[in-house]
Each structure stands twice: as C-alpha cells, then as structure tokens.
Amino acid sequence: MFIFGGSARDTHPRDTHPPAPATTDPAPRVTDTVASGLDTPWGLAFLPDGSALVTERDSGRVLGIGADRQIREVATIADTVAQGESGLLGIAVSPTFDTDRFVFLYVTTPSDNQILRATYDGLTLTDQQVILGGIPAARVHDGGRLQFGPDGMLYAATGEAGNRSLAQDPASLGGKILRVTMDGEPAPGNPDPNSPVYSLGHRNVQGLAFDDEGRLWASEFGQNDVDELNEIVAGGNYGWPEVEGSSGNDDGGGDEYIDPVVTWPVAQASPSGIAHDDGNLWMASLRGERLWRIGIADSGIADFSTTEFFTGEYGRLRTVVTAPDGSLWLTTSNRDGRGEPADDDDRILRIENPSLESP
C-alpha cells in the first residue's frame, strides 16, 4: 500500500523559507580545465582510484578521465535516443565497486528511459543489462540523475515526460524519485514494498545528493514561477502539478504536499546537478548560468543561506560533483541546443572549494 503526502514526515510540511543572508566563507575559484571539447557532458562519477567516468548526453558515449587527465572512450551505449533533453544521462558507481565493478547508467531508448547496470574492467563497460525499464520518456522532462545512498540503495530521479498527470500517479515511474537495489528491485523499506517509487509529485528532478546526516536533497525545475530545493522523505508528495513552489501560496495544496526548503525565480536557476560537502550544497544552474552554494542547517533548524558564483562566466552549468581531493568538478552544458558554446565547450572545470580543499 502506498503512503504518500505530508503525513509521511515526522513533522508537518515546512513553509518555504526565504534564503538567509549570504555567508562570508571564502569564494570558490576555477583553478583548471579538466577536459574540453566535450559533447554535452551530463553525468559524472568518480571511481575509487580517483579516475572519473563521464556521460555525453547526445553522443551516447561514456568517457574515462584518468588521474593524468587523459580522456578515452570507454563505451557507446546502443539505442541511445538524444532528442531535446533525452539521451545518455546519469551515471553512478557501485559503493562496493572494488568487489563487483558495477557502474549504473540512465539512458533514453526508443521506447522508454532505462537504468542499465554494466561491469567496468578498467578499459570498457561489459555485460550491460537493463535492471529497470518503463520509465516514461519524451523530448523533455526525463530526469536522469542517479545517486547511491548511505543505505547502499540506488536512487533515481525521473521526470513526468511532459505529461503532468503522471507525477501524481503512484503506478507510473514518471515524476518520481525511485529507490531500488542493485538488481533493480524495489528496495526494502519503500512506501510500497512492491514498487520502486520513493517519493512523487515531481516535475523534473535532475539533482540528488545526500548530506552527512543521511538526508536526501533534490533540485527540481519549476515551470513558470520558481525552481526548488527539496528535502526528500519516504512517501513524500511534492505537489506537482497541483503546486509549483510552496503550497502556502494560493495553490490550495494545504498540508497534503511537502513544501520546498528554498525556491528561486526560474531565471536565476533552472537547477540540474547538486553536490554536498561539509554543511553546503552546491547547485549547478542552466538558465541561471551560475553555481549556487546553499548552506544547509542541522536537522530541525530551518535556516538556509544562499550565495551565487560565476554568474554568466561559463554559460550553462549542468553537473557538479565533489572530487576525492575536496575540489569540485563542474560541467558546462553550452552545446545542449540552448546555450552559446565557446570554442572549447563543453568543459569540465576544477573548482577550488575553500571549505574542503586539501592543504
């Protein structure tokens, strides 16, 4: 049985809190270009040895970046359909990679969005198999982010594929955050033990990150009014399409829906990837062409500070990941059909992160 809505929380849905004043922490700065000339990089994940794997949305290629910054093609995912926002999207590395060598990919096919599991032997991806299919696909709102949680389960963000009603349909995998095992089965403890659905009422989530307390955060595209940062709880209903932003507005949502913790005007965000470090979330913005730092409070304290960096300097920003050395890797997305690419786009930039950078 599904249990969705505000009652899934141990407190009532919080009101949307306006951003607190910006912190005075040192500003991050770009120190290096890790890679350039990429074709719409979308997913980025680090391996235990410090090397990285990157997906290209439109080409369907998976690239490997070694510790020496040399780039090579690892695989091309067959049947990738790259139209509009669809294509080869998220990537995640198994938390037990040293023993199982598993890599997970989110890809649009001619019929649906799928989560694939493959084995990485250090040179190429082999034994590719679909562990979960039937995720609605379209030219827009495909979601696509993959993230392992501290519980060892795989979380996947999906979009409603432009069909708004799917977000509130518990039988659909569209407009949801999914939680599955590494075999693609519904994870133990899901709201419905027979379903991979973990939360619903999402328009198009493209960012997932866990903090040190094990809380799950998600960035979500709004439509005309506001983009959102949400704290995700099991069984939570986040309101789309009945609510955009806070249900405390005149949307009539009441306590049925969980409100975002921070919102932005769509021109300042259009958020995609997010990453966590000690006390901060970093959020890459596409239309907003900036990197947001969001200070997140301890549990039970509603106090979020937001600061923007690199506004307009590097164009559209898609994915941000915390690297093993404490830096941030940030991808541009200027060749995605909506940007104005420079000659060396798309790029992966290395960002010195003052709060985590190794001495």
The residues carrying an active-site annotation are 141
Supply 94's token pair: 């198994």
Pick from 331, 316, 322: which is nearest to 353 by CA? 322
